[in-house]
Copies of this chain bind each other. A is one copy, B any other.
Amino acid sequence: MEKTIGMLVGPLFEDLEFWSVAMRLREEGYRTLVIGGKAGETYTAKSGGLKATAEIDAGDVTAKSLHGLAVPGGFAPDTMRRNSEMIRLIREMDEQKKIVGFICHAGWMAASAKILTGRRCTGSLGIKDDLENAGGLWVDLPAFQEGNLVWGRVVADIPAYQKVLISALGAQ
């Protein structure tokens, strides 16, 4: 049976942190499930060019149905963190020790899910203070795995992030 990886999406998602990762997951044989605030809603990427359409509401997704979850950066997390069902899904994934990937500004979602205490994390320098204030231990590395969480720093680190994410998902 095909394993499903959820991909959160919202307005101003970072183009490649969403789409390059989606293509990579599909290459690996995973089904991607695009999870938004509202099924059928289409969001425009930060560049203003690419788009992505939600296949399902976050409220209709359980951690049990997913093998993993990938959260893109850009400014989408600023909107997505206000969605209590998205935050609930991240907490549920974490409680079940399932792989969740965060890159760039995606760490804001981990801060709002209150899962950072004492754990290593990274992302865009713009959110370093927020992750540390949420109890995270900031490290300046392109990408790494910390327990069931996978971290990527910025767009240029997508290659390293994809490598760690694919490896973590494969090992689970």
Task: Please list the residues of chain A having a beta carbon within 8 angstroms of any beta carbon in chain B.
Answer: 15-16, 19-20, 23-24, 26-27, 45-50, 158-160, 162-163
Contact = CB atoms under 8 A, between A and B. Distances in A.
A26 B26 CA distance: 18
Number of this chain's copies in the complex:
2
A16 B51 CA distance: 12
Contact residues of A: prevailing secondary structure: helix
A14 to B, nearest CB: 11
Nearest to A45: B49
A76 B158 CA distance: 24
A16 B47 CA distance: 13
Contacts of A23: 16, 20, 24, 158-159, 162
B26 A20 contact: no
A128 B147 CA distance: 49
B27 A163 contact: yes
Contact of A19 (B16, B48, B160, B162): B16
A4 to B, nearest CB: 15
Contacts of A20: 16, 19-20, 23-24
22 contacts: A15-B15, A15-B19, A16-B19, A19-B19, A20-B20, A20-B23, A20-B24, A23-B24, A23-B158, A23-B159, A24-B27, A24-B162, A26-B159, A27-B158, A27-B159, A27-B163, A46-B49, A47-B50, A48-B48, A48-B49, A49-B50, A50-B50
A24 B24 CA distance: 7
Contacts of A24: 20, 23-24, 27, 159, 162
Contacts of A158: 23, 27
